[in-house]
Amino acid sequence: MARPLRSARLRAAALTLPLVFFVGVTFIAPLGSILVRSIHEPQVADALPQTLASLEAWDGTSVPSEDMFRTLATEFRLLDEQRKLGSVATRVNRLESGMRSTMLDTARALGDADPDSWRDAMIAADPVWGEAKAWLAVRRAGERFTLRHYLNAIDLDRDASGNIVAQPPDRRIYLPLLFRTLGVSLVISVICLILGYPVAYLIANASPARSNLLLLLVLVPFWTSLLVRTTSWIVLLQNQGVVNDLLVAIGVIGDEGRIALVYNMVGTLVAMTQILLPFMILPLYAVMRSISPVHLRAASSLGATFRQGFVHVYWPQTLPGVAAGSLLVFILSIGYYITPALVGGRTGQLISNMIAYHMQESLNWGLAAALGVILLLGVMLLYLVYNRLVGIERMRLS
């Protein structure tokens, strides 16, 4: 008995193996590389090996020795010749603002000179070399493994003596953004529930022919390209767009008083709600369809008003659908990127847009990766909850 079972298990597992392998290589491994990027930053360590070795013995407060100055200057010069100093300096600059120009100017000021005192020559090039903070910045940038990006991702940093401190107020942007993303997702989930519940009810209780027709109305946007739907919102909401034209035409606003409906948070909320609404309606509909109308009828025949019947009998039975739809919409919206990028303007951006910014523009890949890992953990947690509550096997596409 045991043997056929085992071979059946093996056969089943063998069938899933190719895809498990494929997902592992093309998906899990890339996610792993994000994790690595978020803690591993070897570029400075590779570029300044001797300086960093000499800094290991340094106490972190006193003015470094002549030897350390010479080592640093020599490595700077070498890097400058290879045209690699710029990118190293950029990394150090992220820890101590101003270090980029300090390092490049110093390398240039030293030129090919062979001064008697490297210390004097470097301090002459930039007095900041006389202070511990410049050296500390170089030392910290040289850490191969660091949790710095995670600290930065939650608006913290280490000060010169290594204590964890809050970022200055004007640079605390990531936590507020994270909360904004969560808030926006929550608002969208609630709006989708409010808009979607009555519609799902209508579809679930309509005659089959009408139900199919209504369902199509929900499925058409579901199948339509995200970019098309986003474009259409721009067309509708922009200043000279259809909605504003309509409002002007019926006299709600004057031609001068057109409302800014897009390239701000309003645009993000409206477009995302419309795009995610089908993900709410479909699971609600699936649950409602399986609820027998007999229950409500029974309640009403027992003298309950429609409202009582709804609150005590119907609503509790739809809770699985409510949970499934809301969680799905929430999970999808906290990772949303395209729509906020196109219609969000400055104020309608979400955490994904910040990750994209650090991936593509500031090239602070470590920070992008740390933000990504935090977002990923959040989504995975919600995914587990979803799995527990709804069951991933019950996910339906149409």
3-state secondary structure of 165: strand
Q: Which is nearer to another protein, 60 or 306 (CB)?
A: 306
Residues 6+ away with beta carbon under 8 Å from 287: 317, 318, 320, 321, 324
The whole-angstrom separation of Cα 314 and Cα 291 is 8
Min. distance of Cβ 54 from another protein in angstroms?
25
Strands (E), the chain: 156-158, 164-166
User: With respect to another protein, which residue has the nearer C-beta, 62 or 225?
Assistant: 225
In single-letter form, the type of residue at position 252 comes to V
Shortest CB 67 distance to another protein, Å? 28
Residue 40 has phi, psi (to 5 degrees) of -115, 120
In whole angstroms, give the CA distance from residue 254 to residue 263. Answer: 21
315-334 helix and 174-205 helix, angle to the nearest 10 degrees = 140
- Of the candidates 292, 277, 298, which has an alpha carbon nearest to the alpha carbon of residue 200? 277
Given the complex with another protein, which of 114 and 223 has the nearer CB atom?
A: 223
* Residues 6+ away with beta carbon under 8 Å from 341: 349, 353, 356
Q: How far is the CB of 147 from another protein (least distance, A)?
A: 19
* Closest to another protein by CB, 26 or 62: 26
For residue 59, the minimal CB distance to another protein (Å) is 29
State the minimum distance, in angstroms, from the CB of residue 8 to another protein.
Answer: 4
Angle 197-199-205 from CA coordinates, rounded to 5°: 100
Q: What angle do CA 81, 84, 88 make, to 5 degrees?
A: 135
**Minimal distance, residue 7 CB to another protein, in Å:** 9
Q: Report, in Å, the least distance between residue 52 CB and another protein.
A: 21
- The nearer residue to another protein, 141 or 218, going by C-beta atoms, is 218
Do the beta carbons of residue 267 and residue 343 sit within 8 Å? Answer: yes
Rg, Å, the chain Cα set? 30
Which of 52/85 has CB closer to another protein?
A: 85
Shortest Å distance, C-beta 127 to another protein: 16
Q: Report d(CA 13, CA 389) in Å as an integer.
A: 26
CB of 62 to another protein, least distance (A): 28
- Between CA 206 and CA 323 the distance in angstroms is 23
Report how far apart, in Å, the C-alpha atoms of 71 and of each of 55, 168, 233, 253, 268 are.
10, 33, 59, 70, 53
Element (H, E) at 137: helix 132-141
Nearer to another protein, 124 or 379 (CB): 379
- Non-local (6+) Cβ contacts of 112 within 8 A are none
Nearer to another protein, 11 or 56 (CB): 11
Q: Which is nearer to another protein, 56 or 393 (CB)?
A: 393
Residue 56 Cβ vs another protein, minimum distance, rounded to whole Å? 27
- C-alpha dihedral (173, 176, 179, 184), degrees to nearest 10: -90
- Token readout for 153 is 């991702």
Whichever of 31 and 389 has its CB closer to another protein, that residue is 31
Q: What's the min distance (Å) between Cβ of 79 and another protein?
A: 10
Q: Which is nearer to another protein, 184 or 218 (CB)?
A: 218
